[in-house]
Structure 1
Amino acid sequence: MTIPVTTPVTTPASAADATPGLLAALAPLLAAESDAEAPAAGVEPSDLEQAVWLRLLERLRETGTAPERPAEWLRRAVRAEARRARRTSDRERPYRDEPGHDPGTSGPQGSPEHSLMAAEGRRTLRAAVTRTPGRCPRVLTAMLDPEDPTYREIAGELGISQGSLGPMRSRCLGCLRRMLAAEVPAPGRRGRVR
C-alpha cells in the first residue's frame, strides 16, 4: 500500500489542515498493523489503534509537522505501543487485599456477575445431566451431591457394586462431556471481525 508522503508542515494551522488527509490515508494501514500486533501484545486492536492515533496527534501538535515517511513512522509506532502494552501487562498484578480475590476468576467472588454465571453454569450442568441416557442421571446426580458422598455410599444408594461405579462414572462423564461440547460454541477468533 502506498501512502502519500506529505510535505513538512511548518505552522500549527497548516498542520490542522493536513491532518484529515493524513489520518484518512493512514487508517487502513493502521488497522492492518494493529490487527497483526494486538494478539501478541494481549490487547484489543482498537486499543492499539487509539494509542497510535493519540501519538500521531500529539506529534502534530508538538512539532507542527507530519512524519516525513508516515507509513514507516506508523509501523514503528504500532510496534512500540504493542511493546509498551506487553511490558505493562507483564508488570501489572491484581491487588491481593481486595475482598473476594480469586486469581482463577475474572471478577470478585461476591459480585452479581460471578453469582449469575455460577448459577447459570449449575443450571446448564443439571439440565444436561437429566438428558443423559440409562443410569447416568442417577449416577451423576449422586456425584454432584453437595454432601460429597463416598463411592461406597453412592453404590449403596444406587444398588450397584462399588467396583462397577468407576467405569460407569467414566462412561457417564464422557457422555455428558460430549453433550456439553455440542451445546457450547467453540471460542471464536480474538480481535475484531470484519
Structure 2
Amino acid sequence: MDLVNELSPLLAAEAAAEAFAAGVDPADLEQAVWVRLLEQTPAEPRRWVRAAVRAEARRARRQARRELPYAVEPSAGPDVRPEQFLLTAERRRVVRAAVRRTPGRCPQVLTAMLSPADPTYREIAGELGMSQGSLGPVRSRCLGCLRRMLTSEVAAPGRWGKER
C-alpha cells in the first residue's frame, strides 16, 4: 500500500504528460501501468514507472496506427453485426457527452445542428433567438472546440499525434 501511495502522484503526472501524444485517456494509461506493476516487482519503482508509462504510450500509438476508422459509419440493419452497432452507439454517446461539455451557447447550437430533423440555418437561428448571420461563426467556434475535445476520445491520431 505504501508503494501505491508513493507512486500515485508520479504515475498521474507521467500519464498526463504522455497521454495526449499517444491519443489515449490519462486514466487508461495509468490503469495499464498499475496492471503491469501487479505482474512484477521492480527494483527501482520510480524509474520503472517512468519507463512503463512510456512503453504503454508507445503501445497505444502502435495500436492506434493499426486500428483504422470506418470509412462510413455502420448503421442499424439486418447485415450489421452487434459489435458494429455497439461501436456506433458508443461513438454517438461520446460525441453527445462532449457536446454537453462545450462552453457557452455551444451545447444548444451543436444540439440543433445534430438534430435528426436536419433544420435549416434560419430554423436554428429562430429556435435559438439569434441572427442567422451570427450562426455560422458561432457554429465554427463550437465545432473547433468540439473537435479539440474529441481528438483523444474519438479520432484516431495519426503518426506523431497528428489528426488524420
> Which range, TM-score by smaller chain?
0.3 to 0.5
TM-score normalised per structure 1: 0.41
Q: More relative contact order in 1 or in 2 (CA 8 Å, sep 6+)? A: 2
TM-score w.r.t. structure 2 length? 0.48
More helix per residue: 2
